[in-house]
Structure 1
């Protein structure tokens, strides 16, 4: 059989896969932590816990299954997200309540703390602000740690289920993905159009979700969340916050999301205000100190 020019060109550009002689030495190079965080000022958890003992509930919101809802928290208050009827995960967006351009930065939070966050770690805001938005003060799933599959809870690696990826993979038109739930809830709170709200929706903290990366293919995985009714994640608001939470259509994410097949449950958000003076000299953190000159 005579090869065509196209065949010849293809063969010429197809290189064999080769393993270098020093492959194992290259793999054996020890990793370096990109952002050592020992210079970060630690949160004063003792102060927060003492203030929490004086706090009274000042508001609550129930997030319906497969839907989203918004809530506000003033700087110096606490908010608690609770699983109330059955195992349920939630996708959380946070904004500066006074300026939507300052929002949760999952990538930098991941770089500073790791793929999953728990008590004593913080949700950081986007550039150019880059300051603590909220500090985790209590986590009833803190015992879970990292399991044999590399899974853990409260991840900052997933992006949120969305109708675009759902359409890409299945061709469907599903409107209760977390991205859409967050978009609707934000639009309703701000009194703006969906088209204006959608660009503000951002990568999330996956509350209660159990996730990781497979060891063989490096793919993002989910598994049944260990959350049970009564479990909660509680945070201290470092700045005035607008929170938007979606009760994921995947329920406990044990099998699938972006469908009406999974058993889904509501979630409860409660806001607590400490007694006056309970925080002593505490002040809300300022925005990042970089001068924004960018070398010019």
Structure 2
């Protein structure tokens, strides 16, 4: 991503939520401003929203339990909704999901708007649903999100372990869209973050135009990805 290709920037505060369409041939960079950020991300085909991110297929077809630079995010139709072209922290979690309102109260205590105003405690489920509603989506469309910047390790006994400090200030993840892709995002702490303090971290979003060559290392990283990009290109044939 170069300075002369950037056409917009946005700021997502901790606890905030946002949605946008990243058009074919565009990139978005998420930058962790303070360290310890977590961005829960859902993806949809912007023109046919019944097609959406399928994390199990994304992991299975790329033979990985983690997603980072060189990997693709697949839809349930075998097309590439986005490609991870750059990742300085090296891991995004596909296991943890998000918390709902009851789980947030249990973990962080009561944090009502009446007392805290804009610092009130938000939860991932409601934040995602608010943004989904703007695009005609509802609860039945809520699926497992990808948690950018967060790492969860799986022990030999199957136990899950949240890795603290996976993302540091200035770490960035860049996603390229080979098709028009709807992004639904929220910046809240990972459900497995052991901190008992509600303190979600902000991120910066930078939007740029890009040549398809920026995702070439994603396309050629394995034969499955070459087929995924071919499936996607057929939409525009």
Q: Do the structures match in fold with TM over 0.5? A: yes
1:179 aligns with 2:115: no
Aligned 8 A contact 1:131 1:286 in 2: no
Name 1:102's counterpart in structure 2.
Answer: 51
Which aligned pairs between 1:4-43 and structure 2 lie closer than 5 A?
Answer: none
The 1:160–1:274 alpha-carbon spacing in structure 2 relative to 1, beyond 3 Å, is: same
Q: Distance in 2 between matches of 1:266 and 1:169?
A: 23
Q: CA deviation at 1:214?
A: 2.9
The 1:156–1:180 alpha-carbon spacing in structure 2 relative to 1, beyond 3 Å, is: same
Indicate which of 197, 201, 209 corresponds to 1:273: 209
Indicate which of 63, 68, 82 corresponds to 1:118: 68
Q: Distance in 1 between matches of 2:213 and 2:154?
A: 45
| Higher fraction of helix | 2
Q: CA deviation at 1:76?
A: 1.0
1:183 counterpart SS class: helix
Aligned length: 210
2:194 counterpart SS class: coil
Which aligned pairs between 1:132-147 and structure 2 lie closer than 5 A?
Answer: 132-142=80-90
1:111 counterpart SS class: helix
Name 1:219's counterpart in structure 2.
Answer: 159
Which aligned pairs between 1:183-222 and structure 2 lie closer than 5 A?
Answer: 183-187=129-133, 189-190=134-135, 192=136, 196-216=137-157, 218-222=158-162
CA-atom RMSD in angstroms: 3.2
1:156 aligns with 2:90: no
Name 2:194's counterpart in structure 1.
Answer: 255
Q: Distance in 2 between matches of 1:270 and 1:71?
A: 12
Aligned 8 A contact 1:105 1:124 in 2: yes
1:225 counterpart SS class: coil
1:235 aligns with 2:175: yes
Q: Over alpha carbons, which structure has the higher Rg?
A: 1
Q: CA deviation at 1:125?
A: 0.2
Aligned 8 A contact 1:83 1:266 in 2: yes
The 1:263–1:270 alpha-carbon spacing in structure 2 relative to 1, beyond 3 Å, is: same
TM-score (norm 1): 0.62
Q: Which has the higher contact order (CA 8 A, sep 6+)?
A: 2
Q: Which runs of 5+ in 2 are unaligned?
A: 112-120, 216-228
